[in-house]
Structure 1
């Protein structure tokens, strides 16, 4: 996984004008931005990905459909489109993305990483069969569609929740509510 240049933000999510390598931002606990894209199907399934085993944070755990850091000077939407194409080989455009909000996550996934990240969260309908998607092996080891009801129950169960990236329960509740609203 190549290091990349990212824009540094202040604790309110505003640009400081500083640019650093992602690894430096994580080492120093500097605020920065990412995109999270949750893909869902109209038959009430959510696409989740298993993070590759060589990831420096949360290897082999199930996570958001697609996520990634926003590169320096890149728009949120362009970053989302790029990450979707890179990680799962799906081509979408800006009109396919629905921005639902941002979420500040402040975590220490291991002793060497302080991850203070503003997630810019998008939803998108998945209209292509997952058998036709191409995974970026260094990022994603597997994908699957999971019924939203089962995902909700997994995230509320102390044992099954260990199989997922430990996002705040408020984050997961926000996402699941927004996706559920698209089914009505």
Structure 2
């Protein structure tokens, strides 16, 4: 089944153009991607191991959930859909805003963070085509996994920022 995504301008306005998900995004335009991060009460991040049959970064660890926002879909709806499809977790993002949006050149990544959520790993329903394993890790453990080249190649500073944002909505230093 073909999947389609909307294209956006640099102000995040839909252009009215739609492409297949696998197509290259034309220069100067963007597509939306979502990431959902789940942190437990100990501040550890739930990460997933990508299936060995994935086209991009097979068998590497990744953030809790990531996925393309389908044509006609909001980031919130995509976050709820992807979280349920990949891990079997129901969560309503309809009244949530992304904790951070990052422009990465040809895509806009919306990141939703769920903090202080304890999840029984044995109760996850992993989507076999997408996910082969899941576990909780601390920031130090995750940096080690990145250094060992066993994680999707995110910048370590970006990962550190995501850990920082899990419990901090204020970016200013308090006097």
**TM-score in terms of structure 2 length:** 0.84
The aligned counterpart of 2:19 is 20
CA distance 1:57–1:76, change in 2 (3 Å): same
Match of 1:120 among 97, 101, 110: 110
Residue 110 of structure 1: aligned partner: none
Deviation at 1:153, TM superposition (A): 4.6
Aligned position for 1:73 = 72
Q: Which runs of 5+ in 2 are unaligned?
A: 170-175
The match for 1:34 is 33
Summarize the Cα distance change of 1:120–1:43 in structure 2 as closer, same or farther, 3 Å threshold.
same
**Where does residue 111 of structure 1 map in the other structure?**
none
Q: When you count strand as a share of all residues, which structure comes out higher?
A: 1
Q: Is the 8 A contact 2:51 2:131 kept in 1?
A: yes
Q: Using the TM superposition, name which of 38-47 and 96-105 deviates more.
A: 96-105
Residues 102 and 108, structure 2, Cα contact 8 Å, conserved in 1: yes
CA-atom RMSD in angstroms:
2.3
Structure 1 residues 72, 95: CA separation in 2 closer, same or farther (over 3 Å shift)? closer
When normalised by structure 1's length, the TM-score is: 0.80
Q: Secondary structure at the match of 2:7?
A: strand
Structure 1 spans left out of the alignment, 5+ residues: 107-115
Secondary structure in 2 matching 1:17: strand
CA-CA distance at 1:168 after TM superposition: 2.9
* 1:107-143 per-position Cα deviation (integer Å, ceiling 9, x unaligned): xxxxxxxxx2211001013333111010001011111
Offset of residue 75 of structure 1:
1.1
* Distance across 2 between alignment mates of 1:95 and 1:4: 22
SS in 1 for 2:54: coil
Contact persistence 1:96–1:124 (CA under 8 A): no
* Displacement of 1:24: 1.6
Q: Number of residues paired by the alignment?
A: 167
